[in-house]
């Protein structure tokens, strides 16, 4: 499915989505780690739109992405994972974006590596970045795209595991998941969450 599959008169069904947030930790130290998959997806989408991220008014990097099928804001918090809500709430307050108009992308250790899960609302499920966004927005009514990174080995704390890089044998699965996640974004906006869940969950 591409934007060319839609006619000139096509109007997206999910035009209310105004912002996609990718979660991660800033700095070269954390590039390529499991916890930074939200950043990876946003970088992938920005490359597709031939756009780059720049410093915003708050503790975040922002970009305006024309993806062909929609035009929306993209946000990468610079507040580190556990304080992600501070950046998201600041951006949403400034641009008057409601929680229901937000999509958040994050890693998930409770999903097998390569698995994607889309949810319309709900709890943080143990993810501290999501928990902080829920706290700062005072709402859990935002869509989340969770990208599976698999459970850590029994002897390794999850806090350490998510800050590790993927090994070479995992990268093919990760690259395929990122491409599929980009399709999830398109499906969410153009066809709605039910279609995205039916096709990718």
- Report yes or no: 140 and 122 within 8 Å, Cβ to Cβ: yes
The answer to whether position 7 is within a domain reads no
Q: CA angle 128-170-152, nearest 5°?
A: 40
User: What contacts 5, CB < 8 A, 6 or more positions away?
Assistant: none
- Report yes or no: 118 and 193 within 8 Å, Cβ to Cβ: yes
The answer to whether position 8 is within a domain reads no
The answer to whether position 79 is within a domain reads yes
For the segment 93-130, what is each residue's pLDDT rounded down to a tens digit?
999 999 999 999 999 999 999 999 999 999 999 999 99
For the segment 145-199, what is each residue's pLDDT rounded down to a tens digit?
999 999 999 889 999 999 999 999 999 999 999 999 999 999 999 999 999 999 9
Distance CA 178, CA 166 (A): 14
Instruction: Using alpha carbons, select from 40, 72, 5 the residue that is nearest to residue 179.
Output: 40
Choosing from 35, 61, 76, 127, which is the catalytic residue? 35
**35 catalytic per annotation:** yes
The answer to whether position 50 is within a domain reads yes
- Report yes or no: 75 and 112 within 8 Å, Cβ to Cβ: no
Q: What is the CATH number of the domain that holds 38?
A: 3.40.50.1470
Averaged pLDDT score across all residues of the chain: 91
Task: Give me the number of domains the chain comprises.
Answer: 1
The answer to whether position 63 is within a domain reads yes
């Amino acid at each position: 499915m591409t934007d060319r599959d839609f006619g000139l008169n096509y109007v997206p069904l999910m035009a209310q989505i105004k912002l996609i947030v990718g979660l991660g930790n800033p700095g070269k130290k954390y590039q390529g780690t499991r916890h930074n998959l939200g950043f990876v997806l946003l970088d992938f989408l920005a490359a597709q739109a031939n756009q780059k991220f720049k410093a915003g008014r708050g503790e975040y990097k922002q970009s305006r992405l024309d993806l062909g099928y929609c035009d929306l804001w993209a946000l990468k918090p610079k507040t580190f994972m556990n304080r992600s809500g501070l950046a998201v709430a600041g951006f949403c307050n400034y641009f008057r974006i409601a929680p229901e108009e937000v999509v958040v992308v994050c890693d998930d250790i409770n999903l097998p590596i390569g698995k994607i899960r889309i949810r319309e609302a709900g709890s943080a499920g143990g993810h501290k970045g999501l928990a902080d966004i829920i706290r700062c927005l005072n709402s859990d009514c935002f869509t989340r795209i969770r990208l599976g990174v698999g459970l850590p080995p029994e002897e390794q704390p999850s806090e350490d595991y998510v800050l590790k890089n993927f090994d070479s044998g995992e990268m093919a699965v990760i690259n395929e998941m990122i491409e599929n996640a980009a399709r999830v974004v398109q499906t969410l906006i153009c066809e709605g969450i039910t279609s995205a869940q039916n096709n990718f969950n």
